[in-house]
Amino acid sequence: MSFTILASLGVLGALALLFGAGLGYAGIKFKVLEDERVGAVRELLPSANCGGCGFAGCDGMASAIVNDGLSPLKCPALKAENVQLIAGIMGSSAEAPERRVAFVKCRGTTEVCKYNYKYEGLADCAAAGALAAGGAKSCAYGCLGLGSCAAACKFGAITMKDGLSVVHREKCTACGMCAAACPRGIIEILPYSAEARVFCSSRDNGKTSRANCSLSCVGCKLCEKACEYGAVRVENFLASTDYAKCVNCGKCAEACKSKVIG
């Protein structure tokens, strides 16, 4: 009995040693000289392999940065300090990008939004939106609340609360996977500093919007009138902000009677 145990250990140990030594020798023999900067850049990338850069993963991105001179800013999830470090490795300078976060343009929680029926199908927004008469909520534009964006997020930055996606701004890296996953297209990647955000996507007229959801934009244009910089505009009964013109003065938010800006 004990011989079997020892023999097992011995055989596998000897085999492992033999193969290990062989591989070690082959490793030296077949050594490929790789640009050491690739490894260094790879260390600084977020390692989430989110695919936001368009490459298969962080490895592909690292070699593209080093070999093809791609800007590290192409990585949407890269931390600002790492941009500087990578720029240092590459011997170039890069200015830190403005921090951006994902933003869900909806406030339709279970409390404020009306429901047409109770949905108990597959927890996937695209499936519910396409198959089940546009989802359970009566608003045809808002968050379906089944968490496809939360499932797509590689950084755990989106959770579902009261039938609505909530972005945790500190965890968000603005990689854009949630925006791509949302069948309604109501997730936008915005500058972190943006304040005049419109929490509604409904392009129904005011009466319909309000009937569906008590926190909806009715297109009253009070915000448009309040804005001195021409940054807020109302089109198709829906306010939208031009963040390039917005100075975060907060007047639109004050003016909004429906409480969907801010």
Partner 1 sequence: MRTMLVFWSAVLVNNFVMSRFLGVCPFLGVSKKVNTALGMGAAVTFVMAIASAAAYMVYNYALIPLHVEFLYNIAFILIIASLVQLVEMFIKKSSPSLYKALGVYLPLITTNCAVLGVTVLNKEAGYGLFTSIINGVGAALGFTLAITLLAGIRERTARNDVPPCFQDFPITLITAGLMSIAFLGFSNLIKL
Q: How far is the CB of 257 from partner 1 (least distance, A)?
A: 45
Cβ proximity to partner 1: between 20 and 230 the closer is: 20
Segment contacting partner 1 by CB under 8 A, of 7-15, 97-105, 118-126, 213-221: 7-15
What is the chain's alpha carbon radius of gyration, rounded to the nearest angstrom?
26
- The residue within the footprint of partner 1, chosen from 2, 27, 93, 244 (CB under 8 A), is 27
- Residue whose CB is less far from partner 1, 45 or 113: 45
Q: Which residues contact 255 (CB under 8 A, 6 or more apart)?
A: 222, 223, 225, 226
Shortest Cβ distance from residue 56 to partner 1 (Å)? 7
For the chain, the straight-line distance linking the first and the last C-alpha, in angstroms and rounded, comes to 74
Q: Are 150 and 123 in contact (CB under 8 A)?
A: no
DSSP for residue 127 = H
Q: Which of 176, 180, 104, 184 is nearest to 137 (CA)?
A: 184
Q: Does 15 interact with partner 1 (rule: CB under 8 A)?
A: yes
Is there a contact between 76 and 45 (Cβ–Cβ < 8 Å)? no
- Look up tokens 């949630």; give the residue: 178
Q: How far is the CB of 3 from partner 1 (least distance, A)?
A: 8
1 is a contact residue toward partner 1 (CB under 8 A): no
Cβ count near 28 (within 10 Å) = 8
State the number of binding residues for partner 1 (CB under 8 A): 19
Q: Which stretch binds partner 1 (CB under 8 A): 30-38, 105-113, 124-132, 232-240?
A: 30-38
> Per CB under 8 A, does 4 bind partner 1?
yes
| Residues engaged in binding partner 1 (CB under 8 A) | 4, 7-8, 10-12, 14-16, 19-20, 22-23, 26-27, 30-32, 56
